[in-house]
C-alpha cells in the first residue's frame, strides 16, 4: 500500500527574534495543549505575567480543526502534524508484523504494510501528535470521559496528599465545564467554564426493528441493561460524566460526550487562550507561536541548596522539529532566552521528558553518554510510559446499517477488579490505528466496534534521547503487554467475543451475513478454521493493538520511589522553580481518554501554584 509523502515546501519562518532579546515573567509555560494552555490562561487571569510558548501555529479558524467532524482530516494534516515513529516492543521482528508499518520508499511515497519495496527505509509505527495552539485537543475525536475514582485516589496513596481524593477532584470538572446537554443545576457539572460539552443525535435508535436496533438490544442485554420503552434511545440516558454511586462498577450504555458545542465546533484550550488574550481586562498573557524550546536554563548560584530553573532557551521558526513532515533538513532559527520565577513544562508524554533530559534532568548514564551536563540525576524521567491498548472488531455487512454510535463502558467477566475495563463505540466506520492517510474506508457497509482498554497493566514504555540535538525526535518504545500481558489480552478477547455475539442479532435481517475482516476472518459465526480461538485472537491483538493516549513518562510518585519524577504539587524532584503539568504526570493511564483528565489536572495545578504563591484560586471569566 502506497501513500504520498506530504510535500516539503519551504516554510517562511516566524518573525525573527533577536538573539539578544530577553524578557522576564512570573511564569513560563511550555506547550499550549490540555495541560499548558488552561494553566497559562489561569495564571494570567490571576494577575501573573505569563509567557506561553507553542511550537506550532494557530489553526483555530481552520474548519479542518474547528469542526469536530473533520477530526480524521485534522490528524492527517501536515499543517500541524508531528510524526513520531514508535516501537511497540523490544522485538523488532514482532513489530514488523504490525499491519500498518510505514516505510519511506525514497520516491516521494510511503509504503504501508509488511512487504516493502526494495530499498525502502523503515520508519516504524506512526504516532501523530499535534503541534498547534490547543495541542492534541485540536486533532482528536473529542471524546470526553473521566478516570475511575481509584486512579485519583492512587495519588493520595502514593504521596499522602489528600487534595487528590476523588470527590475533591470532581470540583475541577465543574470549574472548567460549560455543559450544553443537561439542564442547569446538575451539581456534577459546570455551566460557566471554558470547556463546552455536548452529545450526539440518537434519532437512529428510535426506529423500531432495524438491524442496528436489534444489535443494540442484544448488546444492552449482554451488559445487563434493559429498557421498557420502545424508544431505544432511552438506553443511552445515563450520563458518561455523571457522579452516580458505584459508577465505576456499573456497565452501561451512554450517549458519547464531546468537547464541542452543540453545533459541532470544537472547544479547546486554544479557545481559552485566545479569549484570555482578547479579554478587555488585558490579562498579562504573552503567546509565542512557532517557537521551539531547546532547554531549560538553571541558575549558577552556589548559595541555593538545589538547582533552580530560571528560564528557557528557544529557537524561533516554523517546522524546526524533525517530527514535522514539513521540516527542511538543516533549518534552524534564531536563539533567544526568556526568564521567569518558575518554569512549567507541558509538552506532553514525549516532549516533556525530552526537554527535561536535554536540560540535564534525567538518568545520569543516558545524559553523560550524550555529553549532557547532569543537573539532577532523576532516573524516572522518560520511564513508566503507558497507554491504553486500542483494538477493534471489523466486518462488512450485506447492506448498510443506518445507525449512529453505540457507546458503552462495561466490565468483562475476567476483569482484574470490579471496575469496568472496556470503553467501546460501535457503528458504520473503520478505524484500525494510525498510518499516513489513515483510515481505510471499506465503503458504506463497514461496521466496527472499536475498543479502548481501561487500566492497562504494563506501563513499561520509555522515551529516550537519541542525540543531544533538540530538533531530533526521541526513541519511543511502549513495550506493549510486557507486564501481565496475558491478562490484558484476555480482557480484550473477552470483550471482542461479547461484541461479536451482539452482531448475530442481525442474522435474520437483510444486512446479513456479515463478513468479519478481523480478528476472526470469515463469515460472522463461521470463521476461517483456526482463526477464532481465544489464543488466536490474543495473538492478533498482541501484534495489531495500537494506541494514542500516551501518559506517565514524568510521573507523580512516592518520596521513596526512585522513579518518581514529580511530587503531588507537580514539582520536579531535586530542583526548584520547575514543574511538569500534562498527561506525563499521571502515575497510571487515567481512564479511557486522557484529554479531559489532563484539563482537570491543569485546573488542580492552577490551584496548587496559586496557593503556593499566596493567591486564591482564579475565578474563570470567558
- Residue 538, annotated ligand binder? no
Name every residue whose Cβ is closer than 8 Å to that of residue 271 and which is 6 or more positions away in sequence: 60, 134, 194
Q: Which helix or strand (DSSP H or E) is residue 228 part of?
A: none
Question: Percent helix, strand, coil in the chain (nearest 5)?
Answer: 25, 25, 50
Helix (H, G, I), strand (E, B) or coil at 602: helix
Name every residue whose Cβ is closer than 8 Å to that of residue 317 and which is 6 or more positions away in sequence: 11, 13, 14, 290, 291, 292, 331, 332, 333, 334
Interior CA angle at 141 toward 136 and 146, to 5°?
85
Question: Where does 491-608 show beta strands of DSSP type E?
Answer: 515-518, 522-523, 526-527, 578-580
Name every residue whose Cβ is closer than 8 Å to that of residue 318 and which is 6 or more positions away in sequence: 11, 12, 13, 14, 57, 290, 326
- Rounded Cα–Cα distance for residues 98 and 96 (Å): 5
- Residue 76, annotated ligand binder? no
Nearest to 532 by CA among 497, 498, 562, 505: 497
- Residue 581, annotated ligand binder? no
DSSP per position, 393-434: EEEE-SS------EEEEE--TT-SSSS--EEEEEES------
CB-based contact 598:169 (threshold 8 Å): no
Strand 361-362 with 376-377, pairing: parallel
- Residue 141, annotated ligand binder? yes
Q: How far is CA 300 from CA 307, 308, 309, 353, 360, in A?
A: 8, 8, 10, 23, 14
Q: Which residue has the cell 525526535?
A: 473
| Environment class of 473 (CB within 10 Å of its CB; exposed 0-12, middle 13-18, buried 19+) | buried
- Residue 140, annotated ligand binder? yes
Q: Which helix or strand (DSSP H or E) is residue 85 part of?
A: strand 81-86
- Rounded Cα–Cα distance for residues 518 and 448 (Å): 10
- Residue 153, annotated ligand binder? no
- Rounded Cα–Cα distance for residues 361 and 294 (Å): 13
CB-based contact 297:565 (threshold 8 Å): no
Provide the annotated binding site for FAD: 132, 140-143, 293
Binding annotation: 132, 140-143, 293
Amino acid at each position: 500500500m502506497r501513500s504520498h509523502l506530504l510535500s516539503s515546501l519551504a516554510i517562511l519562518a516566524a518573525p525573527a527574534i533577536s538573539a539578544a532579546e530577553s524578557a522576564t515573567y512570573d511564569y513560563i509555560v511550555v506547550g499550549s495543549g490540555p495541560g499548558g494552555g488552561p494553566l497559562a490562561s489561569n495564571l494570567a487571569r490571576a494577575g501573573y505575567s505569563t509567557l506561553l510558548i507553542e511550537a506550532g501555529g494557530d489553526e483555530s479558524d481552520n474548519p479542518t480543526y474547528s469542526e469536530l467532524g473533520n477530526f480524521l482530516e485534522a490528524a492527517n494534516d501536515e499543517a500541524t502534524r508531528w510524526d513520531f515513529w514508535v516501537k511497540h516492543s523490544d522485538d523488532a521482528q514482532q513489530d514488523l508484523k504490525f499491519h500498518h508499518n510505514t516505510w519511506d520508499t525514497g520516491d516521494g511515497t510511503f509504503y504501508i504494510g509488511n512487504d516493502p519495496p526494495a530499498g525502502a527505509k523503515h520508519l516504524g509505527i506512526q504516532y501523530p501528535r499535534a503541534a498547534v495552539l490547543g495541542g492534541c485537543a485540536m486533532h482528536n475525536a473529542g471524546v470526553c470521559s473521566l478516570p475511575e475514582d481509584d486512579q485519583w485516589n492512587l495519588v493520595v496513596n502514593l504521596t499522602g496528599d489528600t487534595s487528590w481524593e476523588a470527590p475533591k477532584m470532581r470540583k475541577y470538572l465543574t470549574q472548567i465545564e460549560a455543559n450544553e446537554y443537561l439542564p442547569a443545576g446538575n451539581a456534577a457539572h459546570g455551566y460557566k467554564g471554558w470547556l463546552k460539552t455536548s452529545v450526539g443525535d440518537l434519532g437512529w435508535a428510535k426506529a423500531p426493528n432495524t438491524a442496528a436496533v436489534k444489535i443494540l438490544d442484544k448488546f444492552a442485554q449482554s451488559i445487563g441493561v434493559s429498557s421498557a420503552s420502545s424508544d431505544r434511545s432511552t438506553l443511552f440516558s445515563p450520563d458518561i460524566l455523571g457522579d452516580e454511586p458505584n459508577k465505576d462498577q456499573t456497565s452501561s450504555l451512554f450517549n458519547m460526550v464531546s468537547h464541542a458545542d452543540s453545533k459541532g465546533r470544537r472547544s479547546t484550550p486554544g479557545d481559552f487562550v485566545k479569549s484570555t488574550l482578547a479579554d478587555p481586562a488585558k490579562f498579562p498573557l504573552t503567546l509565542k507561536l512557532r517557537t521551539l524550546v531547546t532547554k531549560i536554563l538553571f541558575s549558577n548560584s552556589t548559595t541555593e541548596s538545589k538547582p533552580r530553573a530560571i528560564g528557557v532557551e528557544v529557537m524561533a521558526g516554523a517546522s524546526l522539529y524533525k517530527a514535522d513532515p514539513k521540516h527542511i533538513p538543516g533549518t534552524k532559527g534564531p536563539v533567544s532566552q526568556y526568564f521567569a520565577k518558575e518554569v512549567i513544562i507541558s509538552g506532553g508524554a514525549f516532549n516533556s521528558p525530552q526537554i527535561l533530559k536535554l536540560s540535564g534532568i534525567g538518568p545520569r548514564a543516558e545524559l553523560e553518554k550524550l555529553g549532557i551536563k547532569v543537573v539532577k540525576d532523576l532516573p524516572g524521567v522518560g520511564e513508566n510510559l503507558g497507554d491504553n491498548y486500542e483494538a477493534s472488531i471489523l466486518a462488512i455487512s450485506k447492506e448498510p446499517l443506518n445507525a449512529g454510535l453505540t457507546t458503552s463502558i462495561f466490565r468483562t467477566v475476567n476483569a482484574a477488579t470490579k471496575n469496568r475495563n472496556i470503553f467501546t463505540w460501535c457503528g458504520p466506520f473503520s478505524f484500525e490505528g494510525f498510518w499516513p492517510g489513515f483510515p481505510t474506508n471499506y465503503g458504506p457497509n463497514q461496521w466496527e466496534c472499536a475498543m479502548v482498554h481501561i487500566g492497562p497493566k504494563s506501563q513499561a514504555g520509555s522515551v529516550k534521547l537519541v542525540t543531544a540535538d533538540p530538533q531530533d525526535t526521541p526513541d519511543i518504545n511502549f513495550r506493549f503487554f510486557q507486564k501481565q500481558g496475558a491478562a490484558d489480552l484476555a480482557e480484550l478477547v473477552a470483550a471482542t467475543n461479547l461484541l461479536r455475539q451482539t452482531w448475530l442479532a442481525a442474522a435474520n435481517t437483510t444486512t446479513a451475513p456479515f463478513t468479519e475482516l478481523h480478528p476472526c476472518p470469515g463469515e460472522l459465526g463461521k470463521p476461517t478454521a483456526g482463526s477464532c480461538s481465544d489464543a488466536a485472537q490474543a495473538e492478533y491483538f498482541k501484534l495489531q493493538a495500537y494506541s494514542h493516549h500516551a501518559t506517565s513518562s514524568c510521573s507523580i510518585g512516592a518520596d521513596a520511589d526512585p522513579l518518581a519524577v514529580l511530587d503531588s504539587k507537580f514539582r520536579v524532584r531535586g530542583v526548584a522553580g520547575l514543574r511538569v503539568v500534562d498527561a506525563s504526570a499521571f502515575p497510571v493511564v487515567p481512564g479511557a481518554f486522557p484529554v479531559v483528565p489532563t484539563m482537570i489536572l491543569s485546573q488542580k495545578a492552577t490551584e496548587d501554584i496559586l496557593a503556593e504563591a499566596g493567591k486564591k484560586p482564579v475565578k474563570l471569566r470567558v
